[in-house]
Amino acid sequence: MRDAPDAPRLPSSPGFWRSPLRGPWFTSVLGIVLLAGITVLFVTGLVSYAAYNPDLAPVNDKTPDKGILGFYLFAWPTDPHWLYRLNQGVHVTLGITLIPVLLAKLWSVVPRLFALPPARSLAHALERISLLLLVGGALFEFVTGVLNIQLDYVFPGSFYALHFYGAWVFFAAFVAHALLKLPTALRNLRHLREPVEEKSDLVSPRPAEPTVSRRGALWFVGGGSLLLFATTAGQNFDGPLRRTALLAPHGGGDPGSGPNGFQINKTAAYAGIDAARTVEDTWRLVVTGRTGTVRLSRARLAELPLHSAALPIACVEGWSTSDQWWRGVRLRDLAALVGYGDDPPDVFVESLQQRGAFRQAALRANQVADPRSLLALHVNGEPLSPDHGYPARIIVPAAPGVLNTKWVARLTFGDL
Ligand code: HEM
């Protein structure tokens, strides 16, 4: 049906937006879903930052100017060993699953975004600014998160800093909005089965013919979320489930077969590893501590007491592996070699890596002391492959993937 010649032309004109779905009920249902989902996203995001132990050493901290925003940081534990895997799997999978809900919420309130005049009073101006931070913040957080996973750091700055500061701005606006709207949202939800419309300028004064019911539209949004969930969640598992993660760059593809056939993030070639420096004759692990420095060949390391631990690799990008069987020398035994008997300190780890943000990393004393924390030489019964960090790599329970440094060259024990 064609619009009448006098139909409103501007998005700010009453009657321009004609969908009969818009109204407080539809907006409220989506709002309540976002209230729960975004709160979980914010908490898991903050926890993920704490997992890097950013207050331990500058090399771990990609947001050094955070000031009081780091008030909540704590020493990251090593138990349960799947803690980071769960936290980051939830953060990334939930974030992707909420995209259709966010888009539907923005669609449901779009007439308000164009309302004129921009500000009727000082209070109204402040409200519009808070909405700008809310909508802008939401889009910024979702877009940066997805780009980071899909496109491998395409930002004109550090993803970590942008996403961290953006989260605080967005969440402050989110809390203010949620507090203001919660009474309306709850009132509408009392009529969950039978939407009863209140008076609202979200309801079009000249609604078009409905093509779908409100309930049908919610199913459509839920279906979109379910589809994203089903094509993303598999990246947290091995085997056939990983192949269902069609939308995830670290799912879908085949990580190879055999003991080393599990997911990696960066290959040895990508990290700029010079193969000549990793061969048995040339590679030496340099360990420094209270009593001086020792240099250990791989053969010498293999003569030290070797221990096993079943631990996953869990990446900040939201993919993880199931537990792998690692075998190597305990970090605390290496600390004992350089003068730290019963009470191992922090350690500063350096890699042969030429490229990548985490070629140096610090581990806290509690991580060094854990008997499952290893300098691994083998995985699943075979020597590490070049892409998994041959000749030796760190593996620590519950730590983010990048702190499990590959191609280790030097360990410096001491309080950081
Ligand atoms: C990503 C998070 C969110 C964004 C981007 C967002 C965006 C918006 C915008 C731009 C408006 C229109 C301006 C206004 O009426 O003040 C609005 C209205 C509203 N929002 Fe949200 N919102 C979000 C989360 C929430 C949450 C968590 C709730 C539930 C507590 C909620 C409930 C509502 C309600 C009830 C309205 C008013 C509907 C009406 O007046 O008819 N929103 N939202």
Q: How far apart are CA 305 and CA 377, in angstroms?
A: 12
Nearest to 243 by CA among 319, 311, 315, 314: 319
Q: How far apart are CA 263 and CA 250, in angstroms?
A: 7
Q: How far is CA 294 from CA 105, 150, 188, 250, 302, in A?
A: 60, 42, 69, 38, 15
Query: What atom of ligand 1 comes closest to residue 23's alpha carbon?
Result: 41
The alpha-carbon radius of gyration of the chain (Å, integer) is 26
Site to substitute for ligand 1 among 177, 187, 192, most atoms within 8 A of C-beta? 177
Q: Tell how far the Cα of 91 is from the centroid of ligand 1, in angstroms.
A: 22
Give the helix/strand (H/E) hosting 129: helix 122-151
The protein residue whose alpha carbon is closest to atom 43 in ligand 1 is 109
Give phi and psi for 258, each to the nearest 5.
Answer: 85, 180
pLDDT at 175: 97
Query: What's the N-to-C CA distance of the chain in angstroms?
Result: 71
pLDDT at 201: 83
pLDDT at 253: 54
pLDDT at 182: 93
Contact 286, 411 (CB under 8 A): yes
327 DSSP β-pair partners: 308, 378
Q: How many CB atoms lie within 10 A of CB 154?
A: 10
The protein residue whose alpha carbon is closest to atom 14 in ligand 1 is 112
Which residues have any ligand 1 atom within 6 Å of their CB?
A: 24, 27-28, 31-32, 34-35, 38, 102, 105, 109, 112-113, 131, 134-135, 138, 174, 177-178, 181-182, 184-185, 200, 202
pLDDT averaged per 10 residues in sequence order, the chain, 416 residues: 63 88 93 98 97 95 93 97 97 97 97 88 89 96 89 72 96 96 87 66 89 94 97 88 80 68 86 89 95 96 97 93 96 97 94 88 97 98 95 98 96 93
pLDDT at 188: 83
Contact 247, 253 (CB under 8 A): no
Burial class (CB in 10 A: 0-12, 13-18, 19+), 69: middle
